Structure 1
Amino acid sequence: MSTIRVNVVTPDGKVYDGDVDMVVVRTIEGELGILPKHIPLVAPLTVGAVRLKKGNSEEQVAVSGGFVEVRPDQVTILAEAAELPSAIDADRARAAKERAESRLNSTKQDAVDFKRAELALKRAINRLDVTGK
Structure 2
Amino acid sequence: MRTYLLEIVTPDKNFFEGEVEMAIVRTTEGDIGILKDHEPVVAPVSVGAIRVKIDGEFRDAACSGGFLTIDSERVIVITDSAEWADEIDVNRAKDSADRAAKRLEDPYDDLDILRAKVSMERAMNRIRLSGKSMDHSNL
User: Fold match, TM over 0.5?
Assistant: yes
Corresponding residue number in structure 1 for 2:74: 74
> Shift of the alpha carbon at 1:31?
1.1
For the 8 Å contact 1:15–1:84, the answer to whether it is kept is no
Corresponding residue number in structure 2 for 1:61: 61
Give the AA of the match of 1:97: A
Give the AA of the match of 1:49: A
Identity of aligned residues (%): 40
Cα distance in 1 for residues equivalent to 2:122 and 2:53: 22
Corresponding residue number in structure 1 for 2:114: 115
Q: How many residues align?
A: 132
Corresponding residue number in structure 1 for 2:89: 89
Cα distance in 1 for residues equivalent to 2:128 and 2:15: 18
> Shift of the alpha carbon at 1:73?
4.2
Q: Describe the SS at the equivalent of 1:95.
A: helix
Unaligned stretches of 5+ residues in structure 1? none
Q: Describe the SS at the equivalent of 1:12.
A: coil
Unaligned stretches of 5+ residues in structure 2? 133-139
1:17-32 to structure 2, matched below 5 A, reads 17-32=17-32
Give the AA of the match of 2:27: T
> Shift of the alpha carbon at 1:86?
4.2
RMSD (Å) for aligned C-alpha atoms: 1.5
Corresponding residue number in structure 2 for 1:130: 129
Residue 16 (structure 2) pairs with residue 16 (structure 1): yes
For the 8 Å contact 1:96–1:124, the answer to whether it is kept is yes
